[in-house]
Amino acid sequence: MPIDGTFQCALFQVLRADTISFSVTNRRRPEQKYLYNFSTLEYNVDHMNIDKALFFKPGAIGDLLHTLPAVNAFKRTFPSAQITIVVSPGMKPVMEGSAVADRVLIFDKTQFKKNYRDFFRFAFMLRRERFDLFVDLQPSLRSGVLRRIAGAGRTLVYRKKRLSSSGDRRMHAAENFLETLRPLGIAGDVTEIELRVSREAVQAADAFLARHGFDGSKKLIALNCSVGAARPARNWFPERFSLLADRLVREAGAMVVFIGGPEDVELVRSVMASMQEKAIPAAGNLSIAESAALLMRCACLVSSDTGPLHLATAVHTPVIGLFGSTDPRRTGPLGRGHQVIRKDMHCVPCEEKECPEGSRACMEAITVAEIFDAVKRAI
């Protein structure tokens, strides 16, 4: 049954009650529920008994990977706690292979939009689990209802840190997620993201490469030529990816593999059709976990700010990141060996999905030659 206006009003009332119920008095009592706001809470972790924790993050792969330092930090602080992570469809194999969680659940937002009975079944299933802690890393109307129904002993809610007008250092997304756990006495710097890949995913990726004639004798360079239709401002240009790939094959003696999801298949075909050399089309042929395993075999990845870029950094593959509309201080690659190409323009970063000026000048200014030179430095 679809969610209509009446049901949305009901959800709002539940969420409103959830928010109002946390008074200042309750926030000062570790044994009570609380809603997390920055710099307002301090709790003594020694007085906390957390046996079961739920981390809610049914988002895109890049956002999910940015939460891993927070989940790992929690695991180090509460080593005996059972951790459940709620993710989007398609992300479950990635998390199961990483061994960061004891259990992974799927939150299918599309299905729950169609049938709210399934949503409430999921919510009351969480309630039966009797979690000691609910960490909401993707707050929304629905997650607020889930928090209320789940009835966990404690609740932490992520708040996105915006760029302040005072010019403070921009907080990276991974640091921002870790900041959510500060009331538990968990803090620190985030210097890298680490994702373990399952043996099955590695075997599948190796078999795929072998079928396409890759024997390891050449450097394997991954190119990601799409960020999807929802954020066109981030895209570099397909014809330039064709030129770059040809140069990498001819002048660097490399083998090129194009990665991406099923939605990128046609674009990759178009890019490869404009090439004079051969490349491997992996877009749409591998799962996210298998793509991570393939990226482990690559000498580097060239990509704009999107999921594959973060997937590569998580498996410690050097990245050449093409940034314009987004801020690398917030979502740039973490770790060693990465390079960010970004032009100093008055409009950069605009943080918009579409170029406000209609030109994508920030991406237009990035040339094939400078990316080719960056790849040579990486390999």
Domain ranges in the chain are: 5-184, 199-378
> In this predicted model, which residue has the larger pLDDT, 10 or 117?
117
Per-residue pLDDT at 45: 52
Per-residue pLDDT at 301: 98
Query: Exposed, middle or buried by CB within 10 Å (0-12, 13-18, 19+), for 100?
Result: buried
- What are the pLDDT digits (tens) for 323-353? 999 999 999 999 999 999 999 998 999 989 9
- What are the pLDDT digits (tens) for 353-379? 999 888 899 999 999 999 999 999 999
Model confidence, pTM:
0.86
Please report which confidence band the pLDDT of residue 114 belongs to, taking 50, 70 and 90 as the band edges.
confident
Question: For 44, left (φ over 0), alpha (ψ -120 to 50), or beta?
Answer: beta
Q: Do domains 5-184 and 199-378 have the same CATH topology?
A: yes
Please report which confidence band the pLDDT of residue 169 belongs to, taking 50, 70 and 90 as the band edges.
low
pLDDT over 50 at 24, yes or no: no
Helix (H) or strand (E) holding 288, with range, is: helix 288-296
In the sheet with 280-281, reading across from the earlier edge strand, the strands are 280-281, 255-258, 220-223, 300-304, 319-323, 339-342
199-378 adopts what CATH topology?
Rossmann fold (3.40.50)
Q: Looking at the domain that runs over 5-184, which CATH code has it been given?
A: 3.40.50.2000
Helix (H) or strand (E) holding 85, with range, is: strand 82-87
Of 243, 307, 306, the C-alpha closest to 271 is 243
Per-residue pLDDT at 126: 97
Please report which confidence band the pLDDT of residue 115 belongs to, taking 50, 70 and 90 as the band edges.
confident
Mean pLDDT of 196-207: 95
* Residue where the block lists tokens 């959510």: 180
Structure tokens at 239: 């014809």
Structure tokens at 255: 């083998």
CA 221, 227, 233: angle at the middle one, nearest 5?
A: 120
pLDDT over 50 at 32, yes or no: no
- What are the pLDDT digits (tens) for 203-236? 999 999 999 999 999 999 999 998 877 788 999 9
Per-residue pLDDT at 188: 87
- What's the rounded Cα separation, in Å, for the pair 335 and 327? 16
- What are the pLDDT digits (tens) for 277-315? 999 999 999 999 999 999 999 999 999 999 999 999 999
Per-residue pLDDT at 275: 98
- What are the pLDDT digits (tens) for 261-271? 999 999 999 99
Mean pLDDT of 36-44: 42
126 neighbors 96 (Cβ within 8 angstroms): no
159 neighbors 80 (Cβ within 8 angstroms): no
